[in-house]
Structure 1
């Protein structure tokens, strides 16, 4: 119930604070926005940072934060940012649990930066999708380092429209790679961001359809078979090994539940005039969602797909934003929101398990 109550609070809080921000005389700068959103991200920090024994990596990170040797992360994987933060706060005597708060603070800082980059009062719709659909909010402890990189790269991609700087994007990728070396794989994505041609209706539908078919047919497994011999040794356990937790059967099918909404979004956005920025967000979101679906079949590639999680909800955000701003479409927006709320309610209340069953150091 904790997670679901947090969802309701987050939607209400974001909507109200964005309203205050839009009406205030405060400088329309990120720092002002971040301070204003303190009631939101502080609650998130208390909830997520205070989790206990959640996810597959909790005790691994707890031991690292306590006293484990982390030179391997710096020497072998060049994850300098992660090691520097851990060494600094361990040196200051911070207890292991405290470092979870530190890394979640980084995550939520960049999430607030994403909300600020959207520059619209409907950012609460993005928060709804972020918590209900992206899975990031609940799954962050299953790869804390990589999720730090996910937030950073997602912000760099979404804010690319306002800055149009290839160098800036690559610098953010380098920063993200300091948390998780896999972030380097997102460097080529900058060429997609810089492409001025936007995705239309049929290309959107085609990409999604192909991605679903490839995932169901297991094409990504064939790719992994071809490149397995070239993977670094420390990744071998993730491919048909003890750490391979690839989605199978019913769990994989559930990932396709919301494909119809994306197809509806493609049809809607093709018939309505989108702003240049919304068209940009919609296009990169469709590509991200297609990549996400394509990578579902294999655990190793699925981890690469994490980088598209926060981007993949952008098409639905653009769709719901336009429905909400249109009086005639607002009821359908509310219906979609109700479906997503019900979905999250089932996962966190009626059938809560694993990362969706809140376990805390507070009680």
Structure 2
């Protein structure tokens, strides 16, 4: 991707041809995974037991009919092939659109791959990560004032995973007001948000769900609401030195916040949601909402990488080392990969 950065493509199809080797390498491990993550057997067995009817009644029609198509074709692994194809197209279309907005595509891809954890986690959370990868595109279309496309993508995400309605609403509301709010207020919220998110809101949230007979009330006593462990939370603070550097460069050294309006919009969204993972200490299911916004940590890190070569080296070396230990040395769950050799 680095070698082709200067090749300008006006259409995504042409860009796909140029990036095809990278797309193929990205696509294959997800498509032909075998037993990766705790949810793999559940998804795989939908081919045989028909329990995916549950998602039809949840209004997740797109996922339901995808499984129906796989059952019709008679090959259970095709579910992962189709999901991998959708996820691959989504992430590279995001990078294509960012590249056309002046961003370095190769740098966005590196940060996405090493920092966000989305690539490995999407092998376990098939439905949610299709919806998750739709959100940056919704934001990009809103930024381009292509609201019809943004709304259509919102329905696409919702019919894959209904929980996506929460981040979709946040994105649309933020777009209405972020230009009118003083940029320092986003900084202040970022600084105080750890205290807000750390507070135990569980009783208020689930009482609200119950009193309004909302679907998510049932998660209060479910396995999805298991609180996150302390070690998993602590690891998320490892990026803090880089984020502090970003805050200094962006809020105190930057004189034109709206010079790159797309960057500013993404930074505003990141500022509001970055510490949301702290809610999962008391409300385990809150981590599912937090995951929708993980992609946007790319933007503060991208900012410091392009502003300082030294910071670029530090960021790349740190996350390369972190990725090596997480994926190679201490791999577990969705980070422990197995290939479906039956296809060879």
User: TM-score, with normalisation over the residues of structure 1?
Assistant: 0.83
CA contact (8 A) 1:211 1:293 kept: no
* Structure 1: distance between partners of 2:277 and 2:181: 17
Map 1:183-262 → 2, pairs under 5 A: 183-188=164-169, 189-197=171-179, 202-215=184-197, 217-227=198-208, 229-230=210-211, 236=218, 238-262=219-243
Q: 1:101 aligns with which of 74, 77, 81?
A: 81
Residue matched to 2:301:
316
- Equivalenced residue count is 334
In the TM superposition, structure 1's runs of 4+ consecutive aligned residues that sit over 6 Å from their partners are 198-201
Residue matched to 1:182:
163
1:319/1:194 Cα in 2 relative to 1: closer, same or farther (>3 Å)?
A: farther
* Structure 1: distance between partners of 2:215 and 2:186: 37
Map 1:308-347 → 2, pairs under 5 A: 308-320=293-305, 322-323=306-307, 329-347=308-326
* Structure 1: distance between partners of 2:282 and 2:107: 29
CA contact (8 A) 1:149 1:180 kept: yes
* Structure 2: distance between partners of 1:187 and 1:39: 32
Residue matched to 2:271:
286
Secondary structure of the 1:133 match is helix
1:249/1:290 Cα in 2 relative to 1: closer, same or farther (>3 Å)?
A: closer
Residue matched to 2:62:
81
What is the CA-CA distance between 1:68 and the residue it aligns to?
1.9
CA offsets 1:145-172 (integer angstroms, 9 cap, x no match): 11111111222113432x2133332221
What is the CA-CA distance between 1:293 and the residue it aligns to?
5.0
What is the CA-CA distance between 1:210 and the residue it aligns to?
2.3
Alignment pair present for 1:18 and 2:16: no
